[in-house]
Structure 1
Amino acid sequence: MIPIKTFIFDPIDSKALKYAREKLDVVDWTNKEIKNYANAEAVIIRTFQMTKETIDKMPHLKIIAKHGIGLDNIDLKYAKSKGIKVTNTPQANINSVAELVISLTLNCARKVNFSHNIVKAGVGKNSPFELTGFELQNKTVGLIGLGQIGTLVGKKLKAAFNMTVLVYDPYTTETICKTEGFIKCEHLDDVLKESHVVSVSVPLTKDTENLISARELSIMNKNAILINTSRGKVINEKDLYNALQQNKLFGAALDVFAEEPISKDHSLLSCNNFIGTPHNGANTKEALIRMGTESVDEIVTLMNNK
């Protein structure tokens, strides 16, 4: 079997790249040939944009293998019209993203970043009142979206802190929630009103764009934390900035933004009760290896006519 000509446009983990070279005919991001799209039969991408124009430059393309979950950088409709397969790695980064959600939640609850900045600036006393946080034990977390990441976040927080887990997801069932020990809510407002922590894990669609805006933020408890590791445009950033400035929320942390990478001048970064990370949810050694090797495996599957 002749290895398929595979262009890897974005850097991937060295172990995954070694695996790719063993299985495929690889042109990676460091090779000058990467600019000659016409030879590509398969591509592995992370953030590289697979637009109609880019796809048209690859007349022999058979498969687009996404290194990750989100497919919003791929023109899916056009790829389908050309008979090009599109795959992703939905299992590979679940744990890494879930652990980041918990990291950001603890960071916000205990004001870790704010404390660090105060120490760097010169702190005159121990335990300043303005750094008072709150415990997660026996509190309530609201999950917006009960996909695999949301489910794992809920299970970890329930096990570690005995948190009550509320769920808003029109596509899940009460039976699924009961199996996990979660409580399904029929309305988003119910989750927002009752939760001390709200974690958003939904894809970006017409229905989820600006899902959390001024009205929804006004419903949340002023002592609550908002976490988003899904897609930036799900939360209205201007409205979130206003809520944080007016102390209508205890804190918020975003790993994703409407425009990426986030600018150092972004208004949210001026808020002491805000934490920003650069779309870093899947950025662990373990997840990068899994995403890279699973992307290769999808191409090999196609080579085997499966």
Structure 2
Amino acid sequence: MKTYIFDPISDDALAYARKHLDVVTWKDDKINSPSDAEACIVRTYKIGKDQIDAMPKLRIIAKHGVGTDNIDIPYAKSKGILVTNTPTANSNSVAEQAVALIFDCARKITQAHIDNEKGLERNQPMYLKGYEITGKRLGLIGIGHIGYLVGKKLKSGFNMDVYAYDPFISTEKCESMGFHHVKSIDDIIKICDVISISVPLNDATRNLISKRELGMMKPTTILINTSRGGIVNETDLYEALQNKKIWGAGFDAFVSEPLPPHDKLFNCFNFVGTPHNGANTYEALTRMGTGAVDEIIRVSENKPTLTNLGAKIH
């Protein structure tokens, strides 16, 4: 099956694709004229109407990852094209990134490294003091695959008391995970020491955390976002950090990505930002790449795909 891969993928996944499919990659000149493509794999490459129309033989768009905001799914569906993703392949890597950001914020690790490199007069300066997260309250906004893993790791490893908000999860399901179920985001914002966001960006979640919510947080709150930019209002976040209304923020997702080098958030002593790097591990990249290839193989064999966000298989 003629497959165009528009973004770099792991070497192992690429070898797997070449073993099972007729592959054209981002390295090939022919990638600019994919009129014979029957399938394509994308990570961040945008597939809109023009790109879809340029591939009249296209049967499937396989997303290498979870979020599909770079794909025009309604138009693909109207053309009878399948859209698949790999919803759990990067969950553990992103959850580990969230945990890493929590520790970085709690212990000021990045700032301590920067200041140490610049030169310090003494060890353990008081302005770099942190706090322990063991036994503190963790708030989860969203308890899908990633949110659940964040909560599980911090509850079992650091005895955190976990509170969770997710309108699509029942109280019984939440409690079976070992978490306290809350009915309102406010209930998390008011009491939790660490808040981790793991939700998709849509009309309901855009600016979910803004000036009002930030103003309700404790001055010791650490806010983590490893999902999508736009869920937290970045202007309001900057003001909260500058005025020390919260302890710190660790973000892996922004409205503009990568975050511009002179963005005002970088002026905040209590801010850590990474370039949407949560899924950028050897293991996750291999799982996402081979998972996307497997969906294309299923289509080539006229078998049902594991995921389907677009049209019905034909």
| TM-score of the pair, normalised by structure 2 | 0.96
**Cα deviations across residues 206-228 of structure 1 (Å, max 9, x unaligned)?**
00000011001001111110000
Match of 1:70 in 2: 67
CA displacement at 1:121 relative to structure 2: 1.5
Q: What is the root-mean-square deviation of aligned Cα atoms in Å? A: 0.6
Is 1:216 the counterpart of 2:175 in the alignment?
no
CA displacement at 1:28 relative to structure 2: 0.6
Matched to 2:4, the amino acid is F
Match of 1:188 in 2: 185
Match of 1:155 in 2: 152
Match of 1:272 in 2: 269
CA displacement at 1:41 relative to structure 2: 0.7
Which of 90, 93, 117 is the aligned partner of 2:114?
117
Is 1:230 the counterpart of 2:194 in the alignment?
no
Match of 1:177 in 2: 174
Query: Identity of paired residues, percent?
Result: 54
Match of 2:285 in 1: 288
Is 1:82 the counterpart of 2:79 in the alignment?
yes
Q: C-alpha separation between the residues in 1 aligned to 2:132 and 2:257?
A: 32
Gaps of 5+ in 2: 304-314
Q: C-alpha separation between the residues in 1 aligned to 2:167 and 2:105?
A: 28
Aligned partner of residue 232 in structure 1, secondary structure: coil
CA displacement at 1:249 relative to structure 2: 0.7
Q: C-alpha separation between the residues in 1 aligned to 2:48 and 2:263?
A: 28
Aligned partner of residue 259 in structure 1, secondary structure: coil
Q: C-alpha separation between the residues in 2 aligned to 1:222 and 1:235?
A: 17
Q: C-alpha separation between the residues in 2 aligned to 1:206 and 1:57?
A: 30
Runs of at least 4 residues off by over 3 Å? none
Query: How do 1:6-45 residues align onto structure 2 when only pairs under 5 Å count?
Result: 6-45=3-42
Query: How do 1:234-245 residues align onto structure 2 when only pairs under 5 Å count?
Result: 234-245=231-242
Match of 1:301 in 2: 298
Is 1:251 the counterpart of 2:248 in the alignment?
yes
Q: C-alpha separation between the residues in 1 aligned to 2:258 and 2:129?
A: 31
CA displacement at 1:278 relative to structure 2: 0.2
Which of 195, 198, 202 is the aligned partner of 1:201?
198
Gaps of 5+ in 1: none
| TM-score of the pair, normalised by structure 1 | 0.98
Query: How do 1:92-107 residues align onto structure 2 when only pairs under 5 Å count?
Result: 92-107=89-104
Aligned partner of residue 297 in structure 1, secondary structure: helix
**Cα deviations across residues 130-150 of structure 1 (Å, max 9, x unaligned)?**
111110110011000010000
CA displacement at 1:114 relative to structure 2: 1.1
Matched to 2:169, the amino acid is T
Match of 2:129 in 1: 132
CA displacement at 1:25 relative to structure 2: 0.3
How many residues are treated as equivalent by the alignment?
303
Is 1:58 the counterpart of 2:55 in the alignment?
yes
